[in-house]
Structure formats: structure tokens, C-alpha cells
Chain A
Amino acid sequence: MHLFGSLLTIEEASALRLSFQVATCAAAVGLPFAVAAGYLLARSHFRGKWLIEVLVNLPLVLPPVVVGYLLLVCFSPRGPVGSLLSAWFGARIVFTWWGAVLASVVVSFPLMVRAIRLTFQGIDPRLEMAAQSLGAGRLRTFLTVSLPLARRGLIAGCVLGFARSLGEFGATIMVAGNIEGQTRTIPLAIFTLTNQPGGIDRSWRLVGLAVLLAGGALAVSEWLERRRSTDGTA
């Protein structure tokens, strides 16, 4: 952050660092789950499938504060998951930047799954059958055929998750709180400023940063979409 030392205030630099950190982690953490869910929804047909689809898409249609509240109830030390975490690992998620990561993962999950599922659907399932006929089990087929072919779509899904996490506010402020230097990401920093008289004027720089980061991430995603090469990778 020394590079930006002269351009940004300490608070702004901290918000930028946190935003980047949280968004990157959220994309990384969410990816394996999104891949599993995307593949399952793309390829499997079973009776309860619609229920999985509803659950996956729920964070997309619920207001983020509601999502935040539900996460808070689950993960705070009294909650079902939080109590287990603190009993087994002595770990606490609420009010830490891991809480921000959690909120971002949940909120961007439907978007990631959507992109990844489409990618898998675009891969000819007969390729997987061919692999199996050559003796590859389902896991090996997935790892050596499906996944490499889905590479581009997975990256695009990650970028989408990253971009969504950058803008995450409602759930984050609930679960992670608005703690300067720990969980105050760019959206939360902007919010803090707008709550002070005349603070809106000071928040434009952060708004600009947020637009740049998110816009950059989306541009990368678009570019990846366009670069569909003819090698058959999706």
C-alpha cells in the first residue's frame, strides 16, 4: 500500500485492501462448492433437484440484510454452526473478516453456480461417456475431461463472484460488523461516510475505487467470454 500512500488516506487504503482480500478469498472459497453444485445441477436428474435449485438461488432473491441476519443467527456463538465452530476450533467468524468472506460467499454463490452450471451444460456429455468407456471412473472423468474443458467458464464464474463480493454490503455489515481496519470494506466505508454530515462529498473517491475494481473484474469476465477459442474448451 505504500504505492498508494500518497494517493489514498489510511482509511481508504484499508478499505481497498480489505475489499480485495475479502473478494479474493470469497471467490476462492466459493469456487469448489460452486463447481460441485454447478456440475450436479448440470448433469444429474433426481427427484429433489428442484429443491437444490431453490436453495442455491435463494441468496439471489432474498434481501442481503435478511441473508445477513440468517447467517448471524447460524454463526454467532449461540447459533447452531457457530457454537460447533467455537467448541471444536475455538474459532469465531462473526465480526471478523472471515465473516465478511462468509457473507460474500453466500451472496455470490448463486451467480457463480449459474455461470458454472451453464459451462458444464455446454460440454458434450458424450465426451464424458467416451471417457468412461475408455475405463475412466466418474471422478477421473470429471478431473481429466469435464474440469479442463470447463476451465474458462470456471474462471468467469470466479470473476463474477469476485465482482459481486466487492459490492456486498447488507449481509456483510450484519455478520462482520463495520469495524475499521478489520471488516470495513469499500461499500461499508462509503456507507460510514454518508452517515456523517457532508460525508457524501468525501465518499466519491471510494465510489470511484469501487467502480474501477468492479468494472475491471467484469471487463475481464467479458473478455474471457469473448475469447472462446476453437479448441472446444467452454
Chain B
Amino acid sequence: MALLDFRCRHPFSSGFQLDVAFESEHRFTTLFGPSGAGKTTILSIIAGFVTPREGYVRLGDRTLLDTDHRVSVPVKSRSVGVVFQDALLFPHLTVDANLRFGQRRRRKQKRVVDFGRVVEVLEVGGLLKRHPRNLSGGEKQRVALGRALLSGPELLLMDEPMASLDAPLKTRILAYLERVVIEWNIPTLYVSHSQAEVRRASDWVVILDQGRIVARGVPEDALGQPAPLGWSDSTRPMNLVRLDRVERTDGQLKGWIGSQLLSLPPQAPSGLLPRFAMFSPAHVFLSKQDLAGVSARNHLRGRVCRLATSNQAIFVAIDIGQIIWAEVTPAAANEMNLRAGDEVFCLLKAHGLSLVD
């Protein structure tokens, strides 16, 4: 039986209709899509903040909402933890009091979440006596995450919690989130408009656009659908490859994807070795043969999996050990006569890569 079963039909204020139905058995599910697609509304419905015109929400063996039978469990009893975009910590309470806020009422907690452990994992021990107004954005989000955890929820909802943080911070918080998920194994529904986040953290993704589901599945598959490939705003396609091994020699960073070597850009000496490399499909050069005498340091060999057309561009999915996308013009694709199964070389400039911890 699926862990989360969700259906709803609800008019938007902007005139759209939110009309979705999905199930998920996965630990970490992401709702992905451009702004206004309805992702936050779905979270609000699951949390109980909004009651849709028609809707059905089942979590495990509990029905939280069933408009047909006039069932709607009040917010406080849903056992759903929420992490908001702007943390929403209680300004009049210390960090310690904020964290403990959800603990008292959880007499019949199905999960017992230990306070000390949460403080340790999220590294908020030094903040306990402070007030939210004296915390940085990242610190607030960590506390918000801890607070939601300590209420012992059966499902964690996270509404673009990284949105108000800058890039380096985003990845750091994501790392905390990953730790949390591993430690307590709480099913999580995560809203994002960043492909990189999805690729990195998600087991499964539901892709929405204008109130409707346009794709669903494991990130690699779902994100390779035409719709998400065609987006050009912050949800635009992004490659995120996992570095199996990273070495630093003489100040130079090198990474490996399987057996293929990747020259990485110089990195500020923060001491942390990157785990992922991020680059846009538009920065991938394709060549039928390996080229010499070019400035691009990285020549990755792979096999074409498939081609997808979207928005006057052709996206080519290439298996280099992991799947990456390259964006080429239709003319180029024609000229090169690219077909599934062809061997190609992907040329990447080292400086075109972003490193992610």
C-alpha cells in the first residue's frame, strides 16, 4: 500500500484549476515545477491549512481528508511536520523553546525523536539560548527543521526551505536534510524548483505545471520528459553528476565518474571536498570523435541514450556512467546525425562546472 495517496481538485486564485492525483511509496518525494504550478497548495492541503473543493489525502492507514465523506482531520492531529520557506520560528521564544514546542503534545508519538540527537545532527547546540531575531537564515532553517522533527511527525513537508538562502548555504542545509532523512527515516515531501536539488536528494519526483502533473518517476526519467526539459526559468534543466572519488593534488582538484576523469575548477580552500558537479546542458559540446588541441579539459566518453525535442532545441541524453543532458541546435543534431546508441564525446570546460558539497 502506498504511503501517501493524494488527489484533489481545487480552483486557484489565478484562474487555474489544480487537478492532481498521485501516490508515493518513497522516502523522499519531491514536487517540482515552476512557480505557480500548485506545489505549495498541495502541501497546504496535506497539512490541513487549506481545504480543497474536492480532495482525498491518505497517509499510511489514516485518512486525513476526504471531501466526499466530509472527513477532515484538524491540523493539530494530522501528525504532519512542516518546514516553511521562511522558517516561521516563534519570535518570542528562544531556540530551545521553539524546538520543544511540538514535543509536549506528542503523548502518542509513533516516532520518538530524541532532543539531544536532533541538536547534535543539526548542530544547533550553541544556538539554544538565542532568539530567532539573532539567527542567520541558515541557522533559522536548521532550527525550523529540528522543530518539525521533534514533533514526531509521520510525514515531513518542506516548502522550498532553501529558497531564501544563497547558493553555498543551500547545499549545506541540504546536507543537513540528508542527514536527517537518513537518521530518522521520516517520509518527506519536498517542494523545489531546482533540478539540482531534485537530482541530488530525491528518490522520486512529481512534476507539475499549471496545476497539472506533467511527469512523474525517478528523477532521471521524469526530468528527461519534454515538459521539464523545455522550461527556461529557474527550473531549467541542470546536470548534476555524483563524483565517485575526489582528489586534491597541488591545489588542483580532480574528480572521477566511474573511471572517467573530470578536471574540476579551482575551489576556495574550505576544506570540504565536493561531492557533486553541476553544469548546464547548454555548456556541453558534443563531438563524434575525440578532439585534441582544445581548451576544454574534460572529454567524457559516452553513448547516446535518446533525443528529446523541446523549445527549438534538441536535448541529447548521454550515458557517461551517469546520464547527462546536452543541448544542441536541431541543425547540429541533423548534421551530426545523432542517433541512439552512437558514441559521442562530451566536452566540458572545467570552469563551466559548479562544485557542490
Query: B39 an interface residue at 8 Å Cβ cutoff?
Result: no
Query: A232 an interface residue at 8 Å Cβ cutoff?
Result: yes
In the complex the two chains form, is B133's CB within 8 Å of A127's CB? no
In the complex the two chains form, is B106's CB within 8 Å of A135's CB? yes
- For the complex, what is the distance from the CA of A149 to the CA of B133, rounded to whole Å? 14
In the complex the two chains form, is B88's CB within 8 Å of A126's CB? yes
In the complex the two chains form, is A130's CB within 8 Å of B92's CB? no
In the complex the two chains form, is B82's CB within 8 Å of A133's CB? yes
Question: When each residue 117-147 of chain A gets 1 if its CB lies under 8 Å from chain B and 0 otherwise, what string results?
Answer: 0000000101101111111111010001100
- For the complex, what is the distance from the CA of A145 to the CA of B101, rounded to whole Å? 10
In the complex the two chains form, is B151's CB within 8 Å of A134's CB? yes
Give chain A residues whose Cβ lies under 8 Å from the Cβ of B80: 133
Interface size, chain B (Cβ < 8 Å): 28
Query: A233 an interface residue at 8 Å Cβ cutoff?
Result: yes
Cross-interface CB contact of A232 among B81, B84, B92, B104, cutoff 8 Å? B92
Give chain A residues whose Cβ lies under 8 Å from the Cβ of B131: 231
In the complex the two chains form, is A134's CB within 8 Å of B91's CB? no
Q: How far is the CB of A197 from chain B (nearest CB, A)?
A: 58
Q: How far is the CB of B62 from chain A (nearest CB, A)?
A: 15
Give chain A residues whose Cβ lies under 8 Å from the Cβ of B91: 149, 231-233
Give chain A residues whose Cβ lies under 8 Å from the Cβ of B79: 135
- For the complex, what is the distance from the CA of A124 to the CA of B77, rounded to whole Å? 22
Interface positions of B from 120 to 152, Cβ below 8 Å from A:
131-133, 147-148, 151
In the complex the two chains form, is B81's CB within 8 Å of A145's CB? no
Check A145/B90 contact, CB under 8 A, given A133-B75, A135-B76: yes
Interface positions of B from 56 to 72, Cβ below 8 Å from A:
none
Query: B102 an interface residue at 8 Å Cβ cutoff?
Result: yes
Query: B49 an interface residue at 8 Å Cβ cutoff?
Result: yes
Query: B206 an interface residue at 8 Å Cβ cutoff?
Result: no
- For the complex, what is the distance from the CA of A109 to the CA of B78, rounded to whole Å? 38
- For the complex, what is the distance from the CA of A144 to the CA of B76, rounded to whole Å? 14
Query: A44 an interface residue at 8 Å Cβ cutoff?
Result: no
- For the complex, what is the distance from the CA of A149 to the CA of B91, rounded to whole Å? 8
In the complex the two chains form, is B90's CB within 8 Å of A131's CB? yes
Query: A230 an interface residue at 8 Å Cβ cutoff?
Result: yes
- For the complex, what is the distance from the CA of A145 to the CA of B97, rounded to whole Å? 12
Give chain B residues whose Cβ lies under 8 Å from the Cβ of A134: 81, 101-102, 105, 147-148, 151
Give chain A residues whose Cβ lies under 8 Å from the Cβ of B102: 134-136
Check A136/B82 contact, CB under 8 A, given A126-B88, A129-B49, A129-B75: no
In the complex the two chains form, is B76's CB within 8 Å of A127's CB? no
- For the complex, what is the distance from the CA of A231 to the CA of B89, rounded to whole Å? 11
Query: B47 an interface residue at 8 Å Cβ cutoff?
Result: yes
Q: How far is the CB of B134 from chain A (nearest CB, A)?
A: 10
Give chain B residues whose Cβ lies under 8 Å from the Cβ of A135: 76-77, 79, 102, 104-106, 151
- For the complex, what is the distance from the CA of A132 to the CA of B105, rounded to whole Å? 11
Task: List 18 A-B residue pairs with CB atoms under 8 Å apart, sorted by A's residue number.
Answer: A126-B88, A127-B88, A127-B90, A130-B82, A130-B84, A130-B88, A133-B75, A133-B76, A133-B80, A133-B82, A134-B81, A134-B101, A135-B76, A135-B104, A137-B76, A144-B101, A149-B91, A232-B91
Binding site for B on A (CB under 8 A): 124, 126-127, 129-138, 140, 144-145, 148-149, 230-233
Binding site for A on B (CB under 8 A): 47-49, 74-82, 84, 88, 90-92, 101-102, 104-106, 131-133, 147-148, 151
